[in-house]
Amino acid sequence: MGWFHNADRVADPLIEIVRPIPPLAWIPFAIVWFGLTHISAGFVVFVGAVFPIIINTLTGFKSVSKVYVEAGKVLGCMKSTSLIRYIALPYSLPSIAAGIRIAMGVGWMCLVAAEMFGVSKNGLGYKIWWHYYLHQMDFVLVYMLILGFLGLLIDRVFRWYVDGKLLKWRKGVVV
């Protein structure tokens, strides 16, 4: 979409119709379509996570400077596929990585919400809901803290990998 204008013209209205629908609104459909299974939780997580990645990837590709594209053509990238591979994708990686980080957070929240609706009997979301019904708010707080620390751990591992392996060229002046 960020590279081919016709694809953007076709896909953008469809995405912009579905994107504002909260991921939790899809839970009843997920349960009807897939039952109380892990697939329905995966569907809700997917719906919550896919749009931040799409929007950030689109933004990254649309912000590629024409100077870089022209330089790529001068250096031998004549096809769109080679321009995407060698110019647009590397330029867009920081934006894509930011979209994935946002999507991981949204997906994590969607997973917990799906578990609260009974998709899983073992997840932290289910445990929070269970202890809420029993009025054991101390357990609810502990599970919430566990969710927070797991989210922090997942984010740190992702950032360590992406910043250290894929985006190590971005390391600039350390203040």
- Please check whether residue 78 lies inside any domain of the structure: yes
- pLDDT tens digits for 150-159? 999 999 999 8
Q: Which residues of the chain have pLDDT under 50?
A: 175
Q: Which domain holds residue 96?
A: 5-120
- Please check whether residue 19 lies inside any domain of the structure: yes
Gyration radius (Cα) of the chain, Å: 20
Rounded to whole angstroms, the Cα distance separating 31 from 29 reads: 5
Total domains present in the chain: 1
- pLDDT tens digits for 56-95? 999 999 898 899 888 998 988 888 888 888 888 888 998 9
Given a contact cutoff of 8 angstroms between Cβ atoms, the answer to whether 68 and 111 are in contact is no
Rounded to whole angstroms, the Cα distance separating 43 from 171 reads: 36
How wide is the angle at C-alpha 171 spanned by C-alphas 167 and 173, nearest 5°? 165
b/e map 14-39, b = 16+ CB within 10 Å = eeeeeeeeebbebbeebbeebeeeee
- Please check whether residue 52 lies inside any domain of the structure: yes
Q: What is the pTM of this model?
A: 0.81
